[in-house]
Amino acid sequence: MNQIKEAFLKIKKDILSLKKDIENINKTLIKIQTTPTYNQHIQYQQTNKPTHLKTTPTHNQSIQPLYIQNTPISIGNEGVPTNKPTHTQTNQHTPNLDFKEANNILESLDTIKKEIRLKFKRLTPQEMLVFDTLYTFDNQKNIEITYKIIAIQLKLSESSIRDYINKLIKKGIPIEKTRQNNKTIILKISQDLKNIATLSTIQSLRAL
């Protein structure tokens, strides 16, 4: 049980880290979407100050449009081309490091999905039915889940449910058992697993 708990704690820690990375990527993407592009600056200058091109010497007419399209415009200097390098703003539009982190996140999620799928693929149909019932009850608040409740729901004996629960735990399914009043056993799905995957997600992965 300690090894299982440590494994799921590690997965939970990785998930939280992944969520934080995704939030950072989303913030970067929002910043990119709200940053004006070069073409928008150029169009603004060409629309409101059409006389600049007319006063350009004729020997530069064939070169001037190409030069303007590839040169950032300084609004404060009334459209005068700047000599500052453009690599700073270009790098903001192509955050290679963020894309690399996003790729690592996707790979980590794929690994987690594969581990969950393999773990639940090993369950028999009856063991999966008991797990589904336990997970469904566990999603309902103010319900203390016992062997008896599951047995009544599935129309099986309490001893059969006890055996199935023990088999699930031996196969690495994180089910917690606590003794109430030194007598009744209360069952619960580990919160670590519930944070990672819903019941429908687990069922979908198992069906693959």
Q: What angle do CA 13, 121, 175 make, to 5 degrees?
A: 50
Average pLDDT of the chain?
A: 75
**Chain-centroid distance, C-alpha 18:** 6
Q: Is 170 helix (H, G, I), strand (E, B) or coil?
A: helix
What 8-state DSSP symbol labels residue 36? Answer: P
Given this model, what pLDDT does residue 184 score?
92
Under a CB-based contact definition with an 8 Å cutoff, are residues 50 and 68 in contact? Answer: no
* Residue ranges of domains in the chain: 2-24+98-207
Instruction: Give the position of tokens 């019932």.
Output: 133
Q: Which CATH class is domain 2-24+98-207?
A: mainly alpha
Q: What are phi and psi of 207, to 5 degrees?
A: -80, -10
Under a CB-based contact definition with an 8 Å cutoff, are residues 191 and 175 in contact? Answer: no
Tell me the whole-structure pTM to 2 decimals.
0.53
What whole-number distance in Å separates Cα of residue 18 and Cα of residue 16?
5
Q: Answer with the residue of higher pLDDT: 176 or 70.
A: 176
The maximal CA–CA distance of the chain, rounded, in angstroms, is 98
- Residues contacting residue 202 through CB under 8 Å, at least 6 positions apart: 116, 120, 135
- Residues contacting residue 55 through CB under 8 Å, at least 6 positions apart: none
The per-residue b/e assignment along 82-107, b for 16 or more CB within 10 angstroms, e otherwise, is eeeeeeeeeeeeebeebeebbeebee
pLDDT, one tens digit per residue, over 69-125 is 544 444 455 455 555 555 555 555 555 557 777 777 777 778 888 889 999 999 999
Q: Name the H helices within the chain.
A: 2-33, 38-48, 51-54, 64-69, 87-93, 96-121, 125-138, 147-154, 158-170, 191-196, 199-207
pLDDT, one tens digit per residue, over 128-168 is 999 999 999 999 878 899 999 999 999 999 999 999 999 99
What whole-number distance in Å separates Cα of residue 58 and Cα of residue 55?
9
